[in-house]
C-alpha cells in the first residue's frame, strides 16, 4: 500500500467550554416574560364581561381568532 493511502489519522478538536449563566442574570428577564405572557393571556382570553378594562369590543374583535386558536370559548 502506498503511504498516502494509510489509515486516517484522528484529529484532536478542541471545543470551547460552556459557561453557565447565573440565575440572578436570568431571573429579571424570566419575570418580564412571565408578566408579558400573563397580560397577553388576559387580553386574549378574559378581556370581556365583568373583568373588562375597556368598555368597547375592540380588543375582543382584534384577538378573536387568537382566542379560538388558544381554545378559549368565545360565543
**Does residue 20 surpass a pLDDT of 80?**
yes
How many domains does the chain contain in total?
1
Residue 64's domain comprises 22-75
For the record, the C-alpha cell of 31 comes out as 419575570
The C-alpha torsion from 35 through 36 and 41 to 42, rounded to 10°, is 70
d(CA 17, CA 26): 20
Task: With respect to residue 66, please indicate whether it lies within any of the assigned structural domains.
Answer: yes
Ranked by mean pLDDT, which of 17-21, 31-35, 47-51, 57-61 comes out on top? 31-35
The pTM (predicted TM-score) of the whole model is 0.54
pLDDT single digits (tens) 41-56: 887 777 666 666 666 7
Task: With respect to residue 14, please indicate whether it lies within any of the assigned structural domains.
Answer: no
For the record, the C-alpha cell of 42 comes out as 388576559
Task: With respect to residue 54, please indicate whether it lies within any of the assigned structural domains.
Answer: yes
Alpha-carbon distances of 39 from 29, 50, 56, rounded to whole Å: 15, 17, 18
Amino acid at each position: 500500500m502506498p503511504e498516502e493511502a494509510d489509515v486516517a489519522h484522528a484529529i484532536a478538536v478542541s471545543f470551547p467550554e460552556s459557561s453557565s449563566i447565573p440565575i440572578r442574570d436570568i431571573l429579571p428577564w424570566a419575570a418580564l416574560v412571565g408578566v408579558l405572557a400573563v397580560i397577553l393571556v388576559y387580553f386574549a382570553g378574559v378581556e370581556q364581561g365583568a373583568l373588562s378594562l375597556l368598555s368597547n369590543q375592540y380588543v375582543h374583535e382584534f384577538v378573536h381568532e387568537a382566542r379560538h386558536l388558544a381554545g378559549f370559548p368565545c360565543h
